[in-house]
Amino acid sequence: MSDQTALDIQNLYVERGGKPVLHDISMSFLPGEITALIGANGAGKSSTVLAAAGAIPLKSGQVLLEGTPISGLSADAIRRRGVALVPEGHNVLSTLSVLDNLRVAGSHLPAKHINAAVDRVLALFPELSSRLPIPAGALSGGQKQMVLIGQALISAPKFMLVDELSLGLAPTIVSRLAETLQELANEGMGILLIEQFTTLALKIAEHAHVMERGRVVFSGTSKELLADSSILHSAYLATG
C-alpha cells in the first residue's frame, strides 16, 4: 500500500517515437525529502519526470499523488494538483519580463495570491528583484534557472521535479540553487532531482534511484549508494 503523503510512480511503461524508453518503472517520493535520480544520458531520467508531470503519455502504469491517481490528467491539471516540473534547458519566455514570466505561471490564481507567490520567490531569489522589468531572455543562465524554479513555486507545489539543476551553470550558482532546494525540502516540499554531478546530488539527497537503459537498477539511501561505487560505475558505462 502506498504512503498517503507520497508521490508514487507505479509500473510505468513509456514509449517515445514508437520505441520503449521506460520499462516497469516504480519509485516513491516523500514530502520534506530530496530524492536524486541518477544515470547516464539516455537512461530514461527525463522521460520519467516528464511522464510523472503529465508532459508525455503513459503506455501503462500510473502515478499517484497522496494516494489519488493523477496519470492521464493534463500537465497543467497535474501542476494545479501539486506536482510542478522544472524542465531542463533554461527555457524561459524570453520576450516577456521576468515579472511576467513569474505571473503567467500563476494565471489560474487570484491576483492577491499571485502577488504573494511572487514575493515568496523574490524572498528566495533576491537576485531577481532588480531584474523584474527586463526581458527574461537577457538574464544569465543561473538567473534563468531561478526564474524556472520560481515559476514552479508560484502554485505552491507539494512536489517539485527538477531536471538537470546544474546544466551549464557555474559551481557557485549551483551551490546557491542546491541550498535553495534544501531550504524548500526543510519546509516540507518533496523534491525529485535529476543532476549530472552525482556527488552534489548525493550530498543533498536522502534517497536515490539509479536508472540504466530505462530501468531502475538501484533504489535506496544516498549513503548506501555511496558505499557501493560499482552500481554507479555500471550505470554510467551502460549504453543502449
For the stretch 141-177, pLDDT in tens is: 999 999 999 999 998 999 999 998 888 888 899 999 9
The interaxial angle of helices 111-124 and 141-154, nearest 10 deg, is 140
pLDDT band at 2 (very low <50, low <70, confident <90, very high): low
Residue 79 lies in a domain: yes
Average pLDDT over every residue of 111-127: 91
Q: Is the pLDDT of residue 207 over 50?
A: yes
Q: How many CA atoms lie within 13 A of 207 on its CB side?
A: 17
Q: Answer left, alpha or beta for residue 186, where phi above 0 means left and psi between -120 and 50 means alpha.
A: alpha
How many structural domains does the chain have?
A: 1
pLDDT band at 3 (very low <50, low <70, confident <90, very high): low
Higher pLDDT among residues 230 and 62, named by residue: 62
Residue 133 lies in a domain: yes
Residue 179 lies in a domain: yes
Q: Is the pLDDT of residue 236 over 80?
A: no
Residue 1 lies in a domain: no
The pTM assigned to this predicted structure is 0.90
CA distances for 11 relative to 95, 190, 214, 239, angstroms = 40, 21, 12, 22
Smallest Cα–Cα separation from 124: which of 86, 201, 73, 177? Answer: 177
Q: pLDDT over 90 for what percent of the chain? A: 74
Interior/surface letters 137-155, b for 16+ CB within 10 angstroms, e for the rest? eebeebbbbbbbbbbbbbb
User: What domain range is 23 assigned to?
Assistant: 7-237
Apex 190 CA angle, 52 and 129, nearest 5:
100
Q: What is the DSSP letter of 97?
A: B
The cell 515579472 sits on which residue? 99
Smallest Cα–Cα separation from 84: which of 143, 153, 142? Answer: 153
pLDDT band at 112 (very low <50, low <70, confident <90, very high): confident
CA distance linking residue 210 with residue 110, whole number of Å: 40
Residue 2 lies in a domain: no
Question: What DSSP string describes 134-166?
Answer: SBGGGS-HHHHHHHHHHHHHHT--SEEEEE-TT
Residue 232 lies in a domain: yes
CATH code of 161's domain: 3.40.50.300
CA distance linking residue 54 with residue 51, whole number of Å: 5
Q: Which amino acid belongs to residue 198?
A: T
CA distances for 91 relative to 21, 47, 94, 132, 180, angstroms = 24, 18, 8, 17, 20
* Chain mean pLDDT for the chain: 91
pLDDT digits (tens, 9 = 90+) for 37-52: 999 888 999 999 999 9
Residue 127 lies in a domain: yes
